[in-house]
Structure 1
Amino acid sequence: MTGYDDRPWLRAYPPGRPTHLRRAFATALDVFDAAVAQAPQQPAICYFDQTLTWAQVDHAAEALASLLIARGFCPGDRLGLCLQNDPAFVVGLVAAWKAGGTAALLSPMSTAEELADRLAAFTPSALLVLEDLYTERVRAVLAAGTTGVRMVVTVSALDGQSTDDPRVFDGVVRRRPADTVDLTALVDGYRPGDGATGVQRRIGPPDVAVLAATSGTTGPPKGAQLTHANLAFNAQVYRDWSGLKTGEPVLALSPIFHVTGLVGGVALAMLTMSPLVLTHRVHPGVIAEAARTHRPVFTVAVITAYIALADSPDVEADDLSSLRLRYSGGAPIDPEIAESLEDRLGGYIHNIYGQTETTSPSHAVPPGTRAPIDPDSGVLSVGVPVFDTVVRIVDDDGHDLPVGEIGELVTMGPQVIPGYWHDPEATADAFSGGALHTGDVGFMDADGWFYLVDRKKDMINAAGYKVWPSEVERVLASHPDIAEAAVVGIPDEYRGETVKAFVVARPDTALDADEVIAYCRENLAAFKYPREVEVVGALPRTATGKILRRELR
């Protein structure tokens, strides 16, 4: 007996807490429709001095869905969303579902090359994008004529608010590109019954609600297929686990175009019919002001977001006093940092753990409980498996390991996605019998608490963003003066881990580390470029020529 089938973690559940989740909704669209039906005039989105009701969000989504259908959008098609924490993201998400399709999430932090790769992988037929991103990056990508995007709808981050706060809107101007459809004008002019109405609600629990890029653990980014059942289940996990009540505001401290913010922000707010507080970008002073104004109760974010709040002179603990439920995911928390953040920000931060492939949480620290620290490693626990979830620690052959032994985490539960978009080989490698081989290494103690120790592969986790070394190495290899390069993750107090590059110069050339960093910064997303570069004479290799990254670390 290895102990996992006995589910010892259930002992950590609060008294009276059920161990099985009775599902409230079958699909994510059902979740949204219930909010519209039950609370049509209640606040759905708070965006600076703008408030949108659930009925208004529904009207906007109907307008966009009707346009999509009129332009040939079919059930199963993808609507690409390239937005920040903006109201239009929620509108686009719901519109994709109303039209019977899937929302394909595109990070607004991506370079033009990265966006081209995502568009080629997800093949959206339509795109909803911020005006400035469209004019600065996306238009040129689409001009190549290789993406299949037939229609572009644009929106300004300034739309719907009048503060024009320079802390997050510096440099943003309304552009209204003539070669796109303006979302605001579309919504203002829409009347139900006009043109192509007939919303296509051919959606069921197994249908893909969202495509989200993930670097995974075995290679370059893949498209994780988050189903409607996955989203509806884990939104309810967040609600029932935390105890968030109907109507209690939710603060989007995570990017909603990533799985944590999507599920622990957007989907959770839909389920609890709560105002979702959005601030376009995460700026400590803006977050503090939004918290004072809207009094959010729940938030979830990577630990670096909390560190940024703690380090800002514009943030006081009283500003965040309404945040009764604080969670952190994306990367394990150092115990000392967790303690200092509690002192500085006035509240305990509960760990959660999960991946894009588990639709956010598979583990969480129960509310009112402090995560234990492993006495041997000094690692803070990431929590215990949530409702209806079984996690095992296995060896390289897939056999269960005894309690306390280190191995790979394998997760089984309703939140585990069915696989990767158009990638049967990667799906077969990562998923077996409905279980996800996470690629993360850790152990379970005798009481059922789980701890992460390391990553099975060489993935770098920078502030919750996963960076595959080969992505950075490809950019380094394109530098005219670099002969060879290898990338590893190194500890970073702020990001948890950051990128470091070791480079070998071509003969008769001289490399400047700062110039190499600047080169990478121009060609990689902000979280991917190396913060440190070391010029070396040669890279350590095995007898077969493989680079020894462990030796570099």
Structure 2
Amino acid sequence: MSSTFTNDGIQEPPVATTLDAWRSRVQTHPDHPAVAYFDGALTARELDDLSDALAVALDEWGVGRGDRVGIYLQNVPQYALALLALWKIGAAALVLNPMYRGNELRRLVDDAEPIGIICEDVSAAATAETLRGSSVRFSISTSALDFQTRNDPRVFESTTRAAPAADGDLVELLMRFRGRRPPLVELGGGDLALLTYTSGTTGPPKGALNSHANVLATALDFGDCAGVVDGDVVFAVAPLFHITGAVLNAGVALVRDCVLVFANRFNAAVALETFVEHRVTYTIGSITVFNALSEVPGVSADHFASVKTLYSGGAPIPPATVEKFEARFGKYIHNAYGMTETTAGVIAVPPGLRAPVDPSSGSLSIGLPLPRVDIRAVDPNGDPVPPHTAGELEIAGPQVVSGYWRNPDASRDTLPGGRLRTGDVAIIDEAGWVYLVDRLKDQINVSGYKVWPREVEDTLYEHPAVHEAAVVGQPDDYQGESVVAYVSLRKGATATEDELVAFARDRLAAYKRPRLVHIISDLPKTQTGKIRRSDLR
């Protein structure tokens, strides 16, 4: 196989929007399964009819072109229904983390100003109180118990249905309006599909304007390059409120004749059973997901027997973690890289290839740029640097957003000339392989020497007892900053802090060695699995 993605078979999409691609799929294979949820399933025709019904209900509430409606749900079939329904009437989905409460939720709603929200019944009362006096004019709820009958207690806290939101229950609305179609709205590639907020790990969250053209480009190109084809089974293991889950799982499946499998909120044991029951062929999730799967008692290679490709995105993968997973389960975890601003993955390791390791930094490559994606590493002046030289990763292509919601200053600073300045430090070799060194803002300065936390973390991951690691800089009166590490240990494993300091000392230059290693039970993370170094500082 070539050491680069090629443009063979990749061309400008024949349709303008993800909704167009979905409609083509329904017309071609209406009775093929489209969604699976434990023991429940929906065909493409059924999913289309139900989303029509929801679109009619939303239209009657006054939702129209350019409006935003919040989707405040776990990974359930209603998520796909809501996305399709909103797009059918020209509206955009404001994707909201269902774990957000109080001010966390209210800040995003006040910024995005949605006119309605779709939430889970168990949180409907609290959501209504939080959003009192906001732009939200209507609220409908749904139960995670719907569209299945198994009621697994590991992912369903209760089998008792809560009272619906003020404006009704989603399934009741579907039954009331089923058989009706919404008025036809002609969408273009520039229309907003998703309003997706950045994770806020480097500052206040910003709303990325993910257009229909952005979503379609990523869903088609990433899926094709990852080898996803009609008939595949895609497991929505990444949360759909995050751009990775929304596009690289849901989007990839919806624009093809694939089955999109849901399993509610993530539970590692349930996820393993889902791989087996539904014969999953492809998924992408954070590396913390794969770490959690590998810790389940009784897990074996048999759980992944049907899988063709596994991808990990959201955070860099240490080489040692990939090697351990493959040794145990016979499946190679392919790296992928993207941002909210690139509408998810734009750099990935092609199936059948193994990511090389950069000899200077020890970083495992995040892959090769997808077709139609233009990348370069630049210096602080914005000038390209030579191969094998660290610089800020800059990206352009049809996946890159036009800007941020109502934030022209951030749009101008981050997207000069339409090219995304990622804030990530990368090395690109002559063959096009990209090595992510670290975030610019996370660099540690020890007596004038630059230390990238990820290099120290990757070294700690080589220790057999280390489950997760994060490295930060601590103010130091003598040398400016010193290197401090925080680690959690694998179940049943033992190690001392002094032992881990000595382990790193034998493998790193003196200025890179952690002065202290703190062993804690669990590292702080975002809801999408990214370790929050800012909390550790």
What TM bracket, shorter-length normalisation? 0.7 to 0.9
Q: Is the 8 A contact 1:19 1:387 kept in 2?
A: no
Amino acid of the structure 1 residue aligned with 2:49? H
1:159 to 138, 141, 146: 146
Quote the Cα distance in structure 2 between the aligned partners of 1:27 and 1:532. Answer: 38
What CA RMSD, in Å, does the superposition of the two structures yield over aligned residues? 2.9
Identify the match of residue 258 of structure 1 among 237, 242, 258: 242
One-letter code of the match for 2:360?
D
**SS at 2:84's partner residue?**
helix
Do structure 1's residue 124 and structure 2's residue 114 form an aligned pair? Answer: yes
Give the conservation status (yes or no) of the 8 Å contact 2:377–2:392.
Answer: yes
- Please list, as runs of the form range in 1=range in 2, the aligned pairs for 1:299-448 lying within 5 A after superposition: 299-448=283-432
1:199-237 alpha-carbon deviations (Å, 9 max, x no partner): 242311011100001046763100011010011111111
Aligned to 2:169: 182
Change (3 A) 1:122 1:494: farther
**Residues 231, 257 of structure 2: 8 Å contact kept:** yes
SS at match of 1:81: strand
Change (3 A) 1:82 1:489: farther
Cα distance change of structure 1 residues 24 and 326 upon mapping to structure 2, 3 Å threshold: farther
Q: Deviations over 1:116-162 (max 9, x none)?
A: 01111111111111111223x3121122x1x2111111001011111
Whole-angstrom CA distance in 2 between matches of 1:378 and 1:528:
20
User: Tell me, what secondary structure is at the counterpart of 2:441?
Assistant: coil
Residue pair 1:285, 1:314 contacting (<8 A) in 2 also: no
Counterpart code for 1:150: R
CA distance in 2 between counterparts of 1:186 and 1:389 reads: 42
Deviation per CA, 1:331-366, whole angstroms, max 9, x where unpaired? Answer: 111001110011222201111111010011121111
- Structure 1 SS opposite 2:203: coil
Q: Distance in 2 between matches of 1:40 and 1:494?
A: 49
* Residue pairs, 1:499-514, within 5 angstroms: none
Distance 1:21 1:529, change over 3 A: closer
Shift of the alpha carbon at 1:71?
1.2
Go from structure 1 to structure 2 and tell me whether the alpha carbon gap of 1:492 and 1:418 turns closer, same or farther (over 3 Å shift). Answer: farther
In structure 2, relative to structure 1, the CA distance for the partners of 1:528 and 1:385 (3 Å cut) is: closer
SS state of the match for residue 250, structure 2?
Answer: helix
Distance across 2 between alignment mates of 1:410 and 1:178: 44
Amino acid at match of 2:24: A
Residues 1:489 and 1:54: Cα distance change in structure 2 (over 3 Å): farther
Task: From the superposition, tell whether residues 439 and 336 of structure 1 become closer, same or farther in structure 2 (CA, over 3 Å).
Answer: same
Query: Among 124, 130, 151, which residue is 1:141 paired with?
Result: 130
Measure, in 2, the Cα distance between the counterparts of 1:31 and 1:492: 45
Gaps of 5+ in 2: 444-452, 458-469, 473-482, 491-520
Normalised TM-score (structure 2): 0.82
1:280 to 249, 252, 264: 264
Is the 2:35–2:43 contact (alpha carbons within 8 Å) kept by the matching residues of 1? Answer: yes
Distance (whole Å) between structure 2 residues aligned to residue 134 and residue 489 of structure 1 = 43
Which residue is equivalent to 1:41?
A: 31
Query: Aligned partners of 1:525 and 1:329: how far apart in 2?
Result: 14
1:74-99 deviation per Cα after TM superposition (whole angstroms, max 9, x unaligned): 21101110001100110111111111
Residue 170 of structure 1 and its aligned partner are, at CA, apart by: 2.3
User: Which amino acid letter does the alignment assign opposite residue 159 of structure 1?
Assistant: D
Q: 1:116 to 1:452 in 2, by over 3 A?
A: same
Q: Determine helix, strand or coil for the equivalent of 2:421.
A: strand
Alignment of 1:56-67 (within 5 A): 56-67=46-57
SS of 2:160's partner is: coil
1:102 to 92, 114, 121: 92
Normalized against structure 1, the TM-score is what? Answer: 0.80
The counterpart of 2:226, out of the listed 234, 242, 251, is 242
- Please state whether the residue corresponding to 1:336 is helix, strand or coil: helix
**Do the aligned residues in 1 keep the contact of 2:284 with 2:312 (CA within 8 Å)?**
yes
Q: Which amino acid counterpart does residue 374 of structure 2 have in structure 1?
A: V
Secondary structure at the aligned position of 1:457 is classed as helix
CA distance in 2, matches of 1:93, 1:412: 26
Letter of the 2:418 counterpart: G
Matched, 1:88 2:78: yes
Query: In 2 relative to 1, CA 531–394 (structure 1 residues): closer, same or farther, beyond 3 Å?
Result: closer
Q: CA deviation at 1:281?
A: 1.4
- 1:489 positional shift: 9.5
State the partner residue of 1:13.
4
What letter matches 1:166 in structure 2?
P
1:295 and 2:284 matched: no
Does the aligned pair in 2 maintain the 1:27–1:228 contact within 8 Å? yes
SS at match of 1:46: strand
Distance in 1 of aligned mates of 2:242 and 2:208 = 11
Greater than 4 Å deviation, 4+ residue runs: 458-462, 488-495, 524-534
Partners of 1:11 and 1:447 within 8 A in 2: no
| Cα separation, 2, equivalents of 1:525 and 1:450 | 26
- In 1, are the aligned partners of 2:392 and 2:424 still within 8 Å (CA)? yes
| 1:11/1:274 CA distance change after superposition, 3 Å | closer
Deviation at 1:111, TM superposition (A): 2.1
Please tell me whether the aligned partners of residues 73 and 125 of structure 1 are also in contact (alpha carbons under 8 angstroms). Answer: yes
Gaps of 5+ in 1: 1-9, 470-487, 496-516, 535-551
Deviation at 1:296, TM superposition (A): 1.2
Aligned to 1:69: 59
Contact 1:239 1:272 in 2 (8 A): no
Distance 1:494 1:358 in 2: 34
CA 1:101–1:40 in 2, change beyond 3 Å: closer, same or farther?
same
Report the secondary structure of 1:452's partner residue.
Answer: strand
Aligned residue in 2 for 1:477: none
Q: Deviations over 1:53-110 (max 9, x none)?
A: 1111112211111111111112110111000110011011111111111000010111
Q: Residue 510 of structure 1 aligns with which residue?
A: none
Any conservation in 2 of the 1:212–1:258 contact (CA below 8 Å)? yes
> Bigger shift: 446-455 or 19-28?
19-28
Matched letter for residue 167 of structure 1: R
1:399/1:217 CA distance change after superposition, 3 Å: farther
C-alpha displacement at 1:191, in angstroms?
Answer: 3.4
Cα displacement string for residues 263-294 of structure 1 (whole angstroms, at most 9, x for unaligned residues)? 11111111222110100012121112111111
* TM-aligned CA deviation for residue 314 of structure 1: 4.3
* Counterpart in the other structure of 1:505: none
Secondary structure, aligned partner of 1:272: coil
